[in-house]
Amino acid sequence: MDLYIRPDYEVVRNTDRCIACRVCERQCANEVHTFDPETGKMRADESKCVNCHRCVSLCPTHALKIVKTDNTYRENANWSAQTINEVYRQANTGGVLLSSMGNPKPFPVFWDKMLLNASQVTNPPIDPLREPMETQLWLGKRTAKIERDEKGLLKDTLAPQLKLSVPILFSAMSYGSISYNAHESLARAAEELGTYYNTGEGGLHRDFYRYGKNTIVQVASGRFGVHKEYLETAAAIEIKMGQGAKPGIGGHLPGAKISADVSETRMIPQGVDAISPAPHHDIYSIEDLKQLVDSLKEATEHKKPIIVKIAAVHNAAAIASGIARSGADIIAIDGFRGGTGAAPTRIRDNVGIPIEMALAQIDARLRDEGIRDEVSILVGGSIRSSADVVKAIALGADACYIGTAALLALGCHLCRSCHTGKCNWGIATQRPDLVKRLNPDLAYKRLVNLVSAWKHEIEEIMGGMGINSLEALRGNRLMLRGIGLTDTELRLLGIRYAGESL
């Protein structure tokens, strides 16, 4: 027990219901629950509890709940209990505070301040159950020259594009930060859904090469697991310049997560921390990026689209313009609420800008410069629902990356303790006994269900607007209206206020 820090949560057990089956005890990797043979009763040590809800979910008699403790410091609007505890924690250890998953602070969520349009009278809504509704799209450059063959037919002069049947991809999560079974689930779901998952920076396990058609491989600053076959196996290659949860910061996978398999996949020693540098040390400027884009294209015979992923930062629009002129086919932008397996808390909670603003500005900037067709735009961090997807596309995105939502579908309860490596749901861990808790046969279906459900909802929303193809929704900002936004916010988003007519 820490002398200073009291637990944030309490495990409440309804002893009338508890049958002492000890499932909670067996399932808690944090060893919160114990059985007392003398009394025949279960006990809990909540100082170890991360509030992941594994015990709550599995308790067959619903005897458990986790509640926020009412143990309180003297109230202080400036010094919250969390802030005080963080000071204690740092005084205890002298360390940088670490956190996982997305920024939990109460910043405005602009998705929730935008409303969608629907057709009435002058233009009929379309019923997706009766009429075709197209969610298929292609990602990549659209700047093709019109050339004809001797018969007068158009030649395919387009650069390689990615075909998607839904505007949703699974965002980069590395093998290492998440488990083998989590990766398998994502890969299988991507294949069934006709979309893509992303390896993250941890390389690609040999077992998953067979999902290559649906795989985006990442080349990050640590170059973990990057080799010829890795690049050739993939459908597309993503250069990771930054991540929304930790712009300007590299990665750090603790040695404890570097198992034999992870070590082989990443091509690094087992048990040693994997540190990816903050910058790519061969990219100190935009012209350097162009060289990496070109060399990856050369290495794969110009057959695969190249994605450049950046964190949403203040100057994102200008950076995106540079990327669009670098030969990249797709820009991925990761908002400051995006998730992570581990990031310094202060960075995660204080650096970057909302994805909505970055997207609106980048799309507008690329159009102003007449280069929107040079790249497709992928956005993530955080897309929480089909409504967010529709709003993102109406603002100007081509498609969305989902990470946290996908993990939730796998069972994640957002306890934000990924960095401890003891994920009770078998997702963000490499401990074999925990990894096996995620059965891909069940888990991939949950991902398929989630995305299929969103697809239905997207179709319903589009139908309501009288739109029957995603292509006609992209950048269609008249379909959006702001609510509770300032003039500056409206201007930056490029939308009108609710109540303003067409």
Q: Is residue 478 part of the contact set for another protein (CB under 8 A)? A: yes
Which stretches does DSSP call E strand in 242-305?
251-253, 274-276
Q: Is residue 144 part of the contact set for another protein (CB under 8 A)? A: yes
Q: Is residue 161 part of the contact set for another protein (CB under 8 A)? A: yes
Distance of alpha carbon 342 from alpha carbon 423, whole angstroms:
13
Read off the tokens for 231. 């690049």
Q: Is residue 439 part of the contact set for another protein (CB under 8 A)? A: yes
| Residue whose CB is less far from another protein, 202 or 440 | 440
Candidates 337, 311, 316, 313; CA nearest to 108 is: 337
Instruction: Find the binder of another protein among 34, 345, 385, 468 (CB under 8 A).
Output: 468
Distance of alpha carbon 483 from alpha carbon 257, whole angstroms:
45
| Residue whose CB is less far from another protein, 282 or 500 | 500
Tell me how far, at minimum, the Cβ of 182 lies from another protein, in Å: 14
Q: Name every residue whose Cβ is closer than 8 Å to that of residue 25 and which is 6 or more positions away in sequence.
A: 33, 34, 35, 42
Site map 124..143 versus another protein, x via CB under 8 A:
x-x----xx-x-xxx---x-
Q: Is residue 91 part of the contact set for another protein (CB under 8 A)? A: no
| Residue whose CB is less far from another protein, 164 or 319 | 164
Query: Considering CB under 8 A, how many residues would be counted as binding another protein?
Result: 60
Within 58-87, the residues that bind another protein by CB under 8 A are 58, 60-61
Tell me how far, at minimum, the Cβ of 93 lies from another protein, in Å: 31
Instruction: Find the binder of another protein among 473, 485, 492, 493 (CB under 8 A).
Output: 473
Angle formed at CA 205 by CA 245 and CA 188, multiple of 5 degrees: 80
| Residue whose CB is less far from another protein, 154 or 483 | 154
Instruction: Find the binder of another protein among 186, 475, 482, 493 (CB under 8 A).
Output: 475
Instruction: Find the binder of another protein among 6, 65, 314, 367 (CB under 8 A).
Output: 367
Tell me how far, at minimum, the Cβ of 60 lies from another protein, in Å: 6
| Residue whose CB is less far from another protein, 349 or 398 | 398
Tell me how far, at minimum, the Cβ of 8 lies from another protein, in Å: 26
Instruction: Classify strands 215-219 and 197-198 as parallel, antiparallel or unpaired.
Output: parallel
Distance of alpha carbon 207 from alpha carbon 210, whole angstroms:
7
Q: Name every residue whose Cβ is closer than 8 Å to that of residue 369 and which is 6 or more positions away in sequence.
A: 321, 324
Are the C-beta atoms of 198 and 173 separated by less than 8 Å? yes
| Residue whose CB is less far from another protein, 452 or 468 | 468
Instruction: Find the binder of another protein among 38, 70, 150, 156 (CB under 8 A).
Output: 156
Q: Is residue 372 part of the contact set for another protein (CB under 8 A)? A: yes
Using DSSP's 3-state secondary structure scheme, residue 64 falls into strand
Read off the tokens for 128. 């997706």
Applying CB under 8 A, the span of 150-158, 204-212, 261-269, 290-298 interacting with another protein comes to 150-158
Distance of alpha carbon 431 from alpha carbon 472, whole angstroms:
47
Distance of alpha carbon 139 from alpha carbon 125, whole angstroms:
27
Read off the tokens for 80. 């919250």
Q: Is residue 27 part of the contact set for another protein (CB under 8 A)? A: yes
Matching residue, tokens 């897309």: 383
Distance of alpha carbon 344 from alpha carbon 348, whole angstroms:
6
Q: Is residue 499 part of the contact set for another protein (CB under 8 A)? A: no
Read off the tokens for 452. 């299929």
Instruction: Find the binder of another protein among 257, 280, 437, 455 (CB under 8 A).
Output: 437
Read off the tokens for 380. 């993530």
Instruction: Find the binder of another protein among 471, 489, 490, 498 (CB under 8 A).
Output: 471
Q: Is residue 314 part of the contact set for another protein (CB under 8 A)? A: no
Question: How far is residue 418 from each of residues 260, 278, 380, 424, measured CA to CA in Å?
Answer: 19, 21, 19, 10
Cα dihedral 207→212→216→219 (10° resolution): 60
Instruction: Find the binder of another protein among 81, 469, 490, 498 (CB under 8 A).
Output: 469
Q: Is residue 153 part of the contact set for another protein (CB under 8 A)? A: yes
Are the C-beta atoms of 417 and 100 separated by less than 8 Å? yes
Applying CB under 8 A, the span of 211-219, 260-268, 326-334, 433-441 interacting with another protein comes to 433-441
Helix/strand/coil (H, E, C) string of 124-154?
Answer: CCCCCCCCCCECCEEECCCCCCCCECCCCCE
Distance of alpha carbon 334 from alpha carbon 338, whole angstroms:
6
Q: Is residue 154 part of the contact set for another protein (CB under 8 A)? A: yes
Applying CB under 8 A, the span of 64-72, 94-102, 324-332, 438-446 interacting with another protein comes to 438-446
What stretch of H or E contains 36? Answer: strand 33-36
Read off the tokens for 157. 């002069």
| Residue whose CB is less far from another protein, 271 or 494 | 494
Q: Is residue 436 part of the contact set for another protein (CB under 8 A)? A: yes
Q: Is residue 17 part of the contact set for another protein (CB under 8 A)? A: yes
Distance of alpha carbon 391 from alpha carbon 214, whole angstroms:
25
Tell me how far, at minimum, the Cβ of 41 lies from another protein, in Å: 11
Binding stretches for another protein (CB under 8 A): 16-19, 21-23, 26-27, 40, 57-58, 60-61, 119, 122-124, 126, 131-132, 134, 136-138, 142, 144, 146, 153-154, 156, 158, 161, 367, 370, 372-373, 432-433, 436-437, 439, 441-442, 465-469, 471-479, 501-502
